[in-house]
């Protein structure tokens, strides 16, 4: 039994180290890309932590406790989200005030995935649509990395109406070969001051016919 326990611990450590290495890899790509496209006016700007989030509950993307943070510089933003099942990094670059493009990647059930996204912001960001696609190196549910078995993992399409205190949204999610999932939800926000806020998200999932609820706290620097 001891030998098996040591072996399992070794495998977990390998997975952890692989996540760290790939995480730094994606971050390095983001920084290099930013260095190549940064204009002279932004060269003196530095990367700064802009926000931190802690949430618990279930949404269309996460389940359980999630920790997230934003790091920004000029037109570039890097978001890192850590959850028991999902770990991801998103590099977002604003082409202009209406459109931003994203490079995303991470792990889902220990299986690496990556994909592009594009975000359209209209009517002074009161209407936002997100179009996101991802491929995985193996089937996440099998919990094994297999680059020879790369699959189209998901398609995430969202339309969101935003305001200071309340968002409403619709999500269409295609995951592997499952039936399309639809989410209709509301996200409320309460501001204690300019930096600290509380948010709550409730949505209805179909065809699962399930209510999803999450709550969290955010801090802006």
pLDDT per residue over 5-61, tens digit each? 443 445 555 555 555 555 555 555 555 555 555 555 545 678 999 999 999 999 999
109's torsion region: left (phi>0), alpha (psi -120 to 50) or beta? left
Query: What value does the mean pLDDT take over residues 170-193?
Result: 97
CA–CA dist 64, 83 (Å, integer)? 7
To the nearest whole percent, how much of the chain has pLDDT over 70?
80
Contacts of 172 (CB under 8 A, 6+ apart): 155, 156, 157, 158, 180, 181, 182
Average pLDDT, the chain: 87
Domains contained in the chain, CATH given:
2-220 (2.40.160.40)
Six-digit token pair at 83? Answer: 């959850």
The DSSP secondary structure of 122-187, one letter per residue, reads ETTTTEEEEEEEEEEES-GGGT---GGGEEEEEEEEEEEE--SSEEEEEEEEEETTSPPEEEEEEE
Phi, psi angles (nearest 5°) of residue 179? -65, 150
Largest CA distance in the chain: 62
pLDDT at 29: 59
Indicate whether 114 pLDDT > 60. Answer: yes
Q: Out of 40-54, 122-136, 143-157, which region has the weakest mean confidence (pLDDT)? A: 40-54
Residue 218's pLDDT is 98
Mean pLDDT for the stretch of residues 204-218: 97
Q: What is the pLDDT of residue 1?
A: 41
pLDDT for position 209: 96
Is this model's pTM higher than 0.75 or not? yes
Structure tokens at 94: 């604003």
Banded model confidence at residue 3, pLDDT cuts 50, 70, 90: very low
Confidence (pLDDT) at 45: 79
Least confident of 35-39, 189-193, 202-206: 35-39
Rg (CA), the chain: 19
If one counts every other C-beta atom within 10 angstroms of the C-beta of residue 28, the result is 10
pLDDT at 208: 95
pLDDT digits (tens, 9 = 90+) for 92-104: 999 999 999 999 9
**Higher pLDDT among residues 155 and 37, named by residue:** 155
Nearest to 176 by CA among 157, 144, 153: 153
């Amino acid at each position: 039994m001891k030998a098996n326990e040591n072996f399992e611990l070794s495998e977990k450590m390998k997975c952890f180290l692989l996540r760290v290495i790939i995480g730094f890899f994606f971050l390095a790509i983001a920084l290099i890309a930013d260095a190549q496209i940064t204009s002279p006016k932004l060269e003196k700007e530095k990367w700064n932590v802009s926000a931190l989030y802690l949430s618990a509950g279930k949404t269309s993307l996460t389940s359980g406790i999630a920790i997230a943070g934003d790091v920004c510089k000029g037109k570039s933003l890097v978001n890192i989200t850590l959850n028991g099942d999902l770990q991801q990094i998103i590099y977002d670059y604003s082409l202009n005030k209406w459109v931003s493009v994203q490079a995303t990647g991470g792990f889902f059930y220990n299986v690496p995935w990556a994909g592009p996204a594009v975000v359209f912001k209209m009517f002074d960001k009161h209407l936002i649509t997100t179009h996101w696609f991802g491929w995985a190196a193996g089937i996440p549910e099998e919990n094994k990395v297999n680059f020879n078995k790369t699959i189209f993992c998901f398609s995430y399409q969202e339309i969101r109406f935003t305001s200071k205190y309340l968002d409403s949204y619709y999500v269409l999610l295609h995951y592997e070969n499952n039936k399309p999932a639809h989410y209709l939800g509301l996200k409320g926000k309460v501001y204690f001051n300019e930096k600290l806020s509380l948010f709550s998200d409730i949505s209805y999932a179909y065809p699962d016919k399930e209510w999803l609820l999450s709550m969290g706290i955010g801090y802006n620097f």
